[in-house]
Chain A
Amino acid sequence: MAIVRTERHPELPPPVTQTGVIGWMRQNLFSSWFNTILTIVSAYVAYHAIYAFLDFAIINANFAGTSRDDCTLDGACWVFIKQRFGQIMYGFYPEAERWRVDVGYVLGAIGIFLVLSNVVKSKKWPAVYLFIVYPVICYFLFYGGFGLEVVETSQWGGLFLTLVLASVSIFVALPLGIILALGRRSEMPVVRMVCVGFIELIRAVPLISVLFMASVMLPLFLPEGQNFDKLVRALVGMSLFSAAYMAEVVRGGLQALPKGQMEAAKSLGLGYWQSMGLIILPQALKISIPSIVNTFIGLFKDTTLVLIIGLFDLLSVVKAGTQDKDWLGLATEGYVFVAAVFWVFCFGMSRYSIWLENKLHTGHKR
Chain B
Amino acid sequence: MTADVPGMSEGAKVSPFRDPKVRALFFQILVIVTFLAFVYYIADNTITNLEKRGIASGFDFLSQNSGFDIGIVLFVDYNAQTSTHGDVLLIGIINTLAVSLSGIVLATIIGFVFGVLRLSNNWLVNKIASVYIEVVRNIPLLVQLLFWYLAVLLELPNVRESAKIGESIALNNRGLYFPSIVPEAGFWLIPVAFAVGIIATIFVSRWAHKRQDETGQPFPVISTGFGLILGLPIVAALVMGLPFGFEYPAMGRFNISGGWVVKPEFMALFLGLSIYTGGFIAEIVRSGINAVSHGQTEAANSLGIKPNITMRLIIIPQALRVIIPPLTSQYLNLTKNSSLATAIGYSEIVAIFAGTSLNQTGQAIEIIALTMLFYLTISLIISVFMNWYNSRIALVER
Interface contact B138-A347, CB-CB below 8 Å = yes
Within 8 A of A (CB), among B17-69: 24, 27-28, 31-32, 35, 42, 45-46, 48-50, 52
Query: Is A304 in contact with chain B by the CB < 8 A criterion?
Result: yes
CB-CB < 8 A to B27: which residues of A?
188, 191
Within 8 A of A (CB), among B140-176: 140-144, 146-147, 150-152, 154-155
9-residue interface stretch from A90-98, A213-221, A254-262, A285-293? A213-221
9-residue interface stretch from A10-18, A35-43, A118-126, A149-157? A35-43
For A94-110 the 0/1 string (1 means CB < 8 A from B) is 00000000000000000
A27 to chain B: closest residue by CB: B121
Known: A35-B122, A339-B144. A189 touches B138 (CB 8 A): no
Name the residue among A38, A216, A335, A338 with the largest chain B CB count within 10 angstroms: A335
Interface contact A315-B151, CB-CB below 8 Å = no
Assembly CA distance A346 to B169 (angstroms): 40
For A296-310 the 0/1 string (1 means CB < 8 A from B) is 010001101101100
Specify which of B48, B123, B342, B364 is in contact with A28 (CB 8 Å cutoff): B123
Assembly CA distance A42 to B154 (angstroms): 29
Assembly CA distance A134 to B122 (angstroms): 49
Query: Is B350 in contact with chain A by the CB < 8 A criterion?
Result: yes
For B127-140 the 0/1 string (1 means CB < 8 A from A) is 01000001101111
CB distance from B117 to the nearest CB of A (A): 9
Known: A194-B31, A315-B143, A347-B138. A213 touches B375 (CB 8 A): no
CB-CB < 8 A to B350: which residues of A?
206, 208-209, 212
Interface contact B150-A335, CB-CB below 8 Å = yes
The interface size bin for chain B is: 35 or more
Name the residue among A29, A223, A304 with the largest chain B CB count within 10 angstroms: A304
Q: List 25 A-B contacts (CB under 8 A).
A: A31-B121, A31-B122, A39-B125, A42-B122, A42-B125, A46-B128, A187-B24, A205-B336, A205-B375, A205-B376, A206-B337, A206-B350, A207-B336, A208-B342, A212-B350, A220-B364, A221-B46, A223-B48, A305-B142, A305-B340, A308-B340, A332-B155, A342-B143, A343-B139, A346-B138
Interface residues of B (CB under 8 A from A): 24, 27-28, 31-32, 35, 42, 45-46, 48-50, 52, 120-125, 128, 134-135, 137-144, 146-147, 150-152, 154-155, 332, 336-337, 339-340, 342-343, 350, 354, 358, 364-365, 368, 371-372, 375-376, 379-380
Interface residues of A (CB under 8 A from B): 28-29, 31, 35, 38-39, 42-43, 45-46, 187-191, 194, 201, 203-209, 212-213, 216-217, 219-224, 297, 301-302, 304-305, 307-308, 315, 319, 322, 329, 331-332, 334-336, 338-339, 342-343, 346-347, 350
